């Protein structure tokens, strides 16, 4: 019997390494360590859970880059990504959008840009009472407002 390790991750280890190196090019970490690189977030797991229709494209993207891609210098990786983005501009844009979607949900990133991590209204959204007479013209319209 072979020793298999079961995983729910949609990418193989080499694909994960390639993807991480690719994402590090798209959004590098800042010099002071406040903002992480995009390679530090698990885009593969995010896509597997939240955006499964992009998963085949993500796998094909990682396969576009040769296996030693992760071992290349940043400048070499940047040049390869730049060349690939010119050949596959639509796929590149989709990758960027998925990367932004997962990256800007990370607590460390939100705190790094000065936003509070977590739910925006963890204790509820308090609505201030006020003068609702501004709604009178809307309520007076025969078709502008439907009473339930």
pLDDT in tens, 95-140: 999 999 999 888 888 888 888 777 766 666 676 778 878 778 877 7
Residue 68 has pLDDT above 80, yes or no: yes
Tell me the chain's radius of gyration from C-alpha atoms. Answer: 23
Question: Quick check: is 30 in a domain?
Answer: yes
Confidence of residue 4 (pLDDT cuts 50, 70, 90): very low
pTM over 0.75: no
pLDDT digits (tens, 9 = 90+) for 71-94: 999 999 999 999 999 999 999 999
31 found inside a domain: yes
Domain count, the chain: 1
Residue 124 lies inside a defined structural domain of this protein: no
- Tell me if 39 is assigned to some domain: yes
Residue 146, phi then psi, degrees to nearest 5: -110, 120
- The three state secondary structure string of 84-128 is HHHHCHHHHHHHHHHHHHHHCCCHHHHHHCCCCCCCCCCCCCCCC
d(CA 72, CA 52): 29
Domain that holds residue 28: 13-117
3 state DSSP class of 75: helix
Tokens 């639509």 belong to which residue? 90
């Amino acid at each position: 019997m072979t020793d298999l390790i079961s995983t729910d991750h949609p990418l193989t280890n080499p694909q994960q390494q390639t993807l991480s190196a690719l994402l590090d090019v798209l959004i590098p970490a800042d010099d002071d360590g406040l903002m992480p690189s995009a390679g530090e977030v698990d885009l593969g797991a995010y896509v597997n859970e939240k955006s499964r229709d992009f998963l085949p494209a993500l796998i094909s993207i990682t396969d576009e880059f040769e296996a030693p891609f992760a071992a290349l210098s940043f400048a070499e990786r940047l040049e390869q990504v730049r060349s690939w983005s010119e050949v596959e501009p639509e796929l590149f844009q989709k990758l960027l959008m998925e990367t932004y979607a997962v990256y800007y949900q990370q607590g460390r990133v939100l705190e790094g840009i000065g936003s509070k991590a977590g739910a925006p209204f963890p204790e509820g959204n308090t609505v201030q009472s006020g003068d609702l007479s501004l709604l009178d013209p809307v309520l007076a319209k025969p078709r502008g407002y439907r009473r339930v």
